[in-house]
Amino acid sequence: MIQHKKITIDSNHLYLLPMSIEAGGGYLLIDTGPNSKNAIKLIQEYLKQNNIRTEEIKKILITHAHADHAGLGSYWSQFDIDFFGGAPDMSAYTAGDKWKTINTKKTMNQLIKNGLSKNTINEWLMGHEGQFLNQWEPMPWNKIKPVVGGHIFPLMNNRSLEVIACPGHTPGSIAGYIKEDGYLYSGDTILNGKIPSTGMHFSSISSEKKWNGNLHFRNSINQLMQKDIRHIFPGHGDTIKEPIATMNYYRNHYDRFENKIISLLSTEQLNINQITKLLYKQFVNFTAANAIQTTIKVIGIMDKLTEEKRVRQIENKYTI
């Protein structure tokens, strides 16, 4: 059984896994940590307390391109470390804040297009100015290797970590799986007591074409349920000791949402804003952040239902 070490920074968990002597020894680190100077200090203190030299960290596997998981990529890039990240997230890793700014702007345009008021969006932007204070420095292209799943890292005790592609939370979300122990290092794909957002993503940094995160997320959960997973170590929150129950909860949650939407559309044509307000009776009292989050969720579900041809879109309204 692999005994990993866990570094916790605020709500984020990073995991250190000992690599096999045959693979050169040292450690594989899962995720870089959030983009803050305090995070760097806490990591350095943890390594010192556990008698681990920075030079012993040989590889870093980044689960997905969000600043709280990949934000310290630039910091770690100064060391002789091999980085691995999901191929579809490469633009985000190598553009950092620039990617985040472009993606946010395109997302806001989509929300306005689907009926969310500019006042709500401006309120959210004003309330979240602080999130842009910690700069997400880009990583050099030559420091990170793109992976698409199937990559193997040899670990101690005759174990190995397999990279599994889990698109959904981001296009390039990945997880690490130790088959021998039934361990899954899930990043934000599976969390304890919380359903991860599939957000809003686009086919490329230069495109306005949406990428269907909800559909891919559902497919990723179905794929993971075929694995023998006994414990899940997420990027946030407690260890998940009942993986099947958690993943079934995810599937049932989205099934219920889809059934409610189909029922609503069976009587009349509705646009995104109308569907969202019918699904969330307290929508008018939501904070700007909650209004944006729920609208993005409904857009993602509608994109999935449209792609599956279970609903049809006529201009800005939907019908079955």
pTM of the model: 0.96
Q: Domain of 265?
A: 5-319
**DSSP SS3 for 182:** coil
Phi/psi region, residue 25 (left: phi>0; alpha: psi -120 to 50; beta: rest), is left
Burial environment of residue 33 by CB neighbours within 10 A (0 to 12, 13 to 18, 19 or more): buried
DSSP code per residue over 3-47? --EEEEETTEEEEEEEBPGGGT-SEEEE----SSHHHHHHHHHHH
Phi and psi at residue 307, to the nearest 5°: -65, -35
Statement: residue 127 has pLDDT above 80: no
Number of separate domains in the chain: 1
pLDDT over threshold 80, residue 10 = yes
**What CATH number does residue 101 fall under?**
3.60.15.10
Average pLDDT, the chain: 95
Angle between helices 97-113 and 288-307 (to 10 degrees): 80
Residue 52 token pair = 């681990």
Q: Are 6 and 15 in contact (CB under 8 A)?
A: yes
- pLDDT-above-70 percentage for the chain: 98
Of 48, 309, 20, 50, the closest CA to residue 156 belongs to 20
pLDDT number for residue 84: 98
User: pLDDT tens-digit profile of 17-59?
Assistant: 999 999 899 999 999 999 988 999 999 999 999 999 999 999 9
User: Looking at the predicted structure, is the pLDDT value of residue 65 above 70?
Assistant: yes
Count of beta carbons in the 10 Å neighbourhood of residue 79: 12
Distance, CA of 55 to CA of 25 (rounded, Å): 11
- Identity of the amino acid at 217: F
Please state, in angstroms and as integers, the Cα–Cα distance from residue 212 to each residue in 188, 204, 271, following that order. Answer: 17, 12, 18
pLDDT for residue 130 is more than 60: no
The predicted structure's pLDDT at residue 56: 97
